Each structure stands twice: as structure tokens, then as C-alpha cells.
Structure 1
């Protein structure tokens, strides 16, 4: 968007691009729908080898690790409220659950919320969860999923962390306005005192906790994402004439290639179907 708005004279030199973030793909889809994206962009985030691993496992483990390392909390038995149940939030819920937390999921999509319930997590409305949560982690890609009404119900000492995008996932400006004071109680932990004496703790000033207050994803995860990005760029450069402007799907063979190379590095070879099995799958008789 910035290139198009600020340097339209350079747009004609762009063959294409690849976008690896959920938020970026969402914005680019909106630009495509409005007809303002003038060149092809491969949605690297939508590749299986990206979102199934980077979003879920990478963000999940690095965000929970960041929360623990910056607070020194014992997560077992605590109520961890996960906002959303997309791939990022699934990872957050998985690793919080693995640490012994009581996971509560809040999600507007009824299908995803039912999935969370079927995974064994407690599900409820976010305002109800605000009253019982010890730790709140957002992973929605949206804005103000936790706001003043939630803050007014939270218990003293509640902790808020963002694992979604930017610093918009909870209303930090609103929290600052209603607080009577704030102080840094630990590195990367800001305490906001409310008029009634309750204290809410915000990690990394509301920015992405695993990046702003920790080291980010494990390298074993990032090599998958970077492989997808590199192959996407190569594919664009090699097949530029095959694409029109707008957001485009990553070819499935890129997923397959990255997965096979990763498995080979682990000394693992996928199962091979027999000719009889292939014929059976392809036949309707």
C-alpha cells in the first residue's frame, strides 16, 4: 500500500511480490477487491507450509515462552483466555494447555468456536471471560478485541499480551486514559493502576510479545517460511506473464517441495502409494 500511495512512479518496475503475514494478505485481498493492486502478489501466508507451522507452532510456542520469560509466572492452573481461534490462536491455546493452564477461547466464528470446544477448551463470551481470566492473549488480526468494558471486569493483577498483529489488538490508549498511573514493574511489563485500585499488566507495550519482548520463532520453523518465500519469488520471476494483478494462490507443488526437503533433512521419507492404490483413488467404479 505504501509503495502505491507514496511512489506510484515505481509501480511499473514491480514484477510481483510475496506476502507472508496473515494481516498483509488480508489487506492485499481488500486491495484486490477494490481493484487497486496493480501487480500480482503470491499469498505466502496461505501456503500450508507457512500457516500450519509458522502461525500455529511458531507463534504459539514463542509467544507463550515470551510471556513466561518476561513474567516468571507459573502458568499451571491459571485461566488463560485466548482471543480468537485461527491458526495463531490455536497454537497459543495448544502451548498454554501444554503448560497446564486452563484455556478459555473467545471467538466470533461459530464453526471455529465449536472446534475449540471439541478440542476440549472452555469457550465463552469475552465479557464473561474477562471476569475469570488471569492471562489474556490476543491472536486475532483485528482491533480492540479487548476494550474498556473488558478492562472494567478484569481481576486485579490480570496480564495482557498481544500475539496477533501491530499494537491494536487491545485498546491500550483507552486503558491509559482510564488509569490513574502506570509504571514498569519488570522489564517489558507495564502496570496500569485503575481508579478502584485494580492493576492490569501489559506486556511489551501491547506490541507483538514474541518479537518485541523475545527472540521470535524457532529457526526450525522460520526455515520453512523463508523457503516458501524464496520459492514464491522464484516462481513469480519465472512465470510473471502467467499472473494478472491482485492476490494469487501459492502453487501446491511449492508446499510439497518444501515439505519433502524438510522431511529429508530429518531423515524421513513419505510413504509411497502403489500403482494399484493410485488407480483405486482415481477410479469411481
Structure 2
């Protein structure tokens, strides 16, 4: 794996850690969950053959500390962070943007607020559950997650959250289950777990309450590719992408694996990504 060039960018209320690989048109990768820039390690080098690939740790995660550790998090502010990176690294030239999960929510807001800076957005399973007809059920689930987090702690809350994302009838996931990981992946997993309280406590409730401007996104839908996991049909994070493509009259692109296909099937995921970025 190629060592990236590391940069730091001061933004309002935080300092962002970002990584740059390759040469060519700018491709900004916005991670989801608590994974940070490392979420894209499996695809970044291949993409760097065609693009200047920029990945980063969103504010509050890993190597991007907040000035105020208790600051409330808002999608609009995270989207402004992404915009500041575009302004720094691709001034004046429209860029391509890929977002996964909560990062895909940021990518949608970035497209809606700064379309002049965007050539194409690929949003993989943005969990914008407020667009769904049964949004009230998911609001109640998210409230249970926060209540469990306050009363019982992190892992019970993660278990409630994971249960709320599954298809009805799927087997429960053991939030404590351990798997054998290579050293680099182990270090990444440890960093992710260290960031999990911030993700569950601050990102999940704010981001999953976000309601995108559907009329605005429909008007920009020729620049928007919505993706879902081939193995996650019917799961909660998949459903908004399917709903939006139907609403916009566009095609839902299926990526290998499920919601975390970027990590479980990186080579195949990267292949599909290259195709949709270039068409």
C-alpha cells in the first residue's frame, strides 16, 4: 500500500486529518461510521491510478480532534468541512465525491449546497431514514439506542442499533463477537472502537434525523449515483437509496457485499466504483 501525503486543515471548531494519493482530477472520499480515512484503504491505491484521491477523518473522529469535545454535530457542518477540503485541494475545478453510510449523508448535503463544486456524487447506502414512509418507527428505534446508551453503556446500545438496521427475521448479531484480524486491520478496529461512543452518541442521532431536500436533489440527480449493497436488500440503510432512486427516476447501482462491502469486498467494490465514476 502506498504511503499517502498527510495534511491538516483548520476548520470551524476542529482540525481535520486528511490523506492524499495519486494524480489527476480530485476524488474526495467521505467515510461513514467510526472508520475514518482508513475505511477506504482497500480501494484508495487503485483509484489513485486515475485520480488525486483524498480521504479524511471527519471532525471528532480519530485524528481530527474537536476544539470542544462536547460540541453537537450537524450534517451541514460536516458538509462544510468537505467543501473546505475541495476548496483547498481542487480550487475552481469540480470534483468527484464518494460517501459511504453517514458519509453518504454528508455527500448528499454537499451536493445540495455546493453543486457548482461537484461533477459527480456516489452515495452508498445513506441512512436518511426520514425519507421513508415508516420513518416514525425508526425514530423510535434511535431513541431506544440513545436511552440504552445512557442507561447501560456502549455495547448494549450498539446491539440495539444493529438490531434496528437488520431485515425483519434476520438472526441477531453478537456485538461482542471477536474475529481474527491481520495486525493492520486490528489496529484499525481498535481505533474504530475508541471512536464508537462519539459515533453512537453524537453522529447517529443527528445524522439519522437529517431530512434531505428532495426537490433540490431531484434537480441535481443527473450528477448523483445512489448505491446499495447486493447483500443488504431490505436492510434499513439500503432502503433510503432504493426509495430515492424510485423517486428520482434513476438507477440504483448495486455494489458487492452488504452495508460494509467497502471493507469486505474492496477489490470488487473498487471496480464498480471506477465504472460509475467514469460514466
Say whether the fold is shared (TM-score over 0.5). Answer: no
Name which one, 1 or 2, has greater alpha-carbon Rg. 1
TM-score (norm 1): 0.31
Q: TM-score, normalised by structure 2?
A: 0.31
